[in-house]
Structure formats: C-alpha cells, structure tokens
Amino acid sequence: MPSVLQLALVSFGLLHTTIARPASSWYQASVGIPWQVVLESDIGDLNLPVDVYDIDLFTTPQSTIDQLHSNGKQVLCYFSAGTYEPNRPDSAELLADSADLGNTLSGWPDERWLNIRSDKIVSIMKARIDTAVSKKCDGLDPDNVDGYSNDNAGGFTPGLSQSDSVAFLQTLSTYAHSVGLGIGLKNAGDIVQDTSSFLDWVVNEQCVQYGECATFRPFINAGKPVFHIEYKNQSPNITDDCHGANTASFSTVIKPDESSIPKDLIPCT
C-alpha cells in the first residue's frame, strides 16, 4: 500500500548585521505554484515535485536549505512576527520589556502577543530578517500579524488595530525587499485589501473550512500566489478542501491537523 507521501507525489504530479544582497529585486512566486510546508525539524523529502518549501527559520539546518537550493527549490522561512514564543534564539530579548507583551494566545498558552507598535519589537523582527538573509532564504512567512482580532486585541491599551498591522507589515516589507527577500501575509483576511499591493503572496489556513477564500482573491488578481492549507482533522472533506468555492488558482496542500504542520501531505484527488 503506498504511503501518504507517495500518494502526495502522485497527486502533485509535477508533481544583528545585515548580509549584503542585491537590493534591486527579490523572489516573487507565480500564481498556482506547487509548494510544501513543514514547520517541524524533520522536513522529509527534499526533492518533492514542488517549487517552493516553507520551513521554520530557526530549526531548519543550513545544510537543508543549501540542499533545497541545489535541488532547484525556493525557500520561504517561517517565523512568528507578532507573538513571543519560548525557545527561540531571541526569546529573552522579547521578554525584556513587559510593556511589549500582551495576552497569551488562545490555544497556545506558551505564546503571548507582541506590541507590534514598539520600535524594539520592529528591530528584533528586522534582526530575524537578517537571519533569514544569512541562511539564504528566498522569502518570508511572518505569522501572527492579526493580534487586532484576537484575545482582546492582544491585551494592550489601546488594543492593536488593523492599521497597526498594516503599518508593521509595510515596515517589514520595505526592509525585506531592501535586502532581497520576498515577504507575504499570513491569514489576516481583514487587511488583504490594504496589503496585497506591497506584499508578495499570502499564506492562508482553512479558508475553505470557514468560507473565507474569496477574501484572499485580491492576491490572485494581482498576479500573486495564495499558498493555501486545509487540515483533514478539522475539515475532513478533502474534495471540498481542494476544490472549494473561490479557490481557483490557489496553491493548496492538505495537512493532517492544525496542531502541527509535519512533512506529511494528504493529496488532492
């Protein structure tokens, strides 16, 4: 009996020092491009018939990124731009000023929202972008930029707003582009209209499950990909997940469960 990974191959049937880089251009993926996303340390097969791998910035070894490039893959590097996580190399810096820390995240008790209006938080996230440059990432997947809609607007006074997130992403985008990296939006459907002009893609989770896929079509209309994830354990109808309303031209993968994003791929059929 074929493994999940083998089935996935058939289905895809394709399938703080800034490091100098040309600043005149950055990676811009095309609409519908096939991808793999793995946020665990074991990312599995490094030569799947996909063009893009989305991997963790901190836990992925340099040798893995180098091998992916040797295999002709583009590498997006994931980090949380809007929350404190323990056990990251810069976690202590994020804890240094209590005013920068908000409420804990619902369902993620070890994480806390960050005050993305803080110059210090912006500086730390720029340093993470520098790390991505030093590791030869091609683009960025900055998560948790929607504190405005979660946990009492992050638990700050005043609460985080949509305009705060747009300004934060504009700052990160300008910096990322200046050092030769593409950068995307993660979820945050409320600010798609305000960010699709300057961000290079969007990574969305569960838009079929929640009936929100039309929200992300401005990226497709702008010639930019929607990297789309659905979770089998939360929304078990794979046919609907793969071909739901308003998902035409999306780059869709199915993962087992939203609690982690492992190397396993469940194929669209």
- Please check whether residue 101 lies inside any domain of the structure: yes
Buried b (16+ CB within 10 A) or exposed e, 4-33: eeeebbebbeeeeeeeeeeeeebbebebee
Is 250 part of any domain? Answer: no
CATH of the domain at 71: 3.20.20.70
- How many domains, the chain? 1
Residue of higher predicted confidence among 11 and 101: 101
C-alpha closest to that of 141 among 234, 36, 2 = 36
DSSP the chain: ---HHHHHHHHH-----PPP--SS----PPTT--EEEE-SS----TT-S-SEEEEETTTS-HHHHHHHHHTT-EEEEEEESSEE-TTSTTHHHHHS-GGGEEEEETTEEEEEEE-TT-HHHHHHHHHHHHHHHHTT-SEEEEE---GGGSTTGGG-SSPP-HHHHHHHHHHHHHHHHHTT-EE-EES-GGGHHHHTTT-S-EEEE-HHHHT-GGGGHHHHHTT--EEEEEETTTS--HHHHHH-TT-TT-EEEEESBTTB--S--BPP-
259 located within any domain: no
Residue 32 falls inside a structural domain: yes
In a domain, 40, yes or no: yes
Contact 66, 222 (CB under 8 A): no
pTM, rounded to two decimals: 0.89
* Region 146-150 average pLDDT: 97
Which structural domain range is residue 78 located in? 11-16+26-205
Report the pLDDT value the prediction gives residue 19, as an integer from 0 to 100.
Answer: 40
Confidence of residue 244 (pLDDT cuts 50, 70, 90): confident
Rounded Cα–Cα distance for residues 176 and 179 (Å): 5
Residue 170 lies in a domain: yes
252 is a domain residue: no
- Whether residue 254 is contained in a domain is answered as no
- Per-residue pLDDT averaged across 108-114, rounded? 96
- pLDDT, position 16: 39
pLDDT for 18 beyond 60: no
Give the model's pLDDT for residue 7: 35
Task: Return the pLDDT at 258.
Answer: 86
The C-alpha atoms of residue 149 and residue 237 are separated, in whole angstroms, by 28
Q: What percent of the chain is predicted at pLDDT more than 70?
A: 90
